[in-house]
Amino acid sequence: MRINYLFSGLDKVNGFTKKQKEFLKKDIKNNMNIVFIASSFDNYERNDIKHKELVKLFNDINIKFNSIYLIDNRVDSNKSKELIKKSDIIFLMGGDPKKEMDSIIEYDLVSDIKTKEGIIIGVSAGSMNQITNVIYKDEIENNIIVKYKGLGFFNTNIYPHVDINNKEYLQEIFEVSKYGKILCLPNSSFIRIENNKVDIIGEHYYIEYSN
């Protein structure tokens, strides 16, 4: 059995929302093992800070882990495979989606993640990389359209952090929608998939381009 969570964003100040807490508390048992996969494998300081922030969010809702691991360039591919194998939960962290997926491929972890039973959680970039075909506009890299294969747990392209009042961001989404249908998720919304049954929890919008 596998359960996937695709979170748009998590509130580091207020923690998990009531709905997020409700589902997580049902699915995650105390003393499970969790492994975090960083988005930037060479940014050790950021990775240490961010994964500890995420652990605190779980602690705040009384979810305690037995062992906590972090995959970045401080561990090699073989060790990473071992950590995934002995973990009950894989957490794909936020950041740069393409860099995260490139590192997952470089470490030969695609099959390990795709065949893993248990719980796979992603936030922001980590959620985008759970879909089949990732498409987004990279504002850092000269506003180019980035397209690549994701892990394939969900077929519709998603855009996280959507605010309907942010017209510039919506314009970007409209542009990317020319390449395929997009599911827009505000920060408090998320997707939960259990044995191929998809639930979209919270406010969400579909954008599809038509001539």
Is residue 20 a contact partner of residue 190, using CB atoms and an 8 Å limit? yes
The partner residues of 200 in beta bridges, in order of sequence, read 191
User: What per-residue confidence (pLDDT) applies to 143?
Assistant: 75
What's the pLDDT score for residue 140? 67
Stretches in the chain below the pLDDT threshold 50: none
The confidence score (pLDDT) of residue 141 equals: 64
User: With contact defined as beta carbons under 8 Å apart, do 209 and 174 qualify?
Assistant: yes
Looking at residue 138, what is its pLDDT?
85
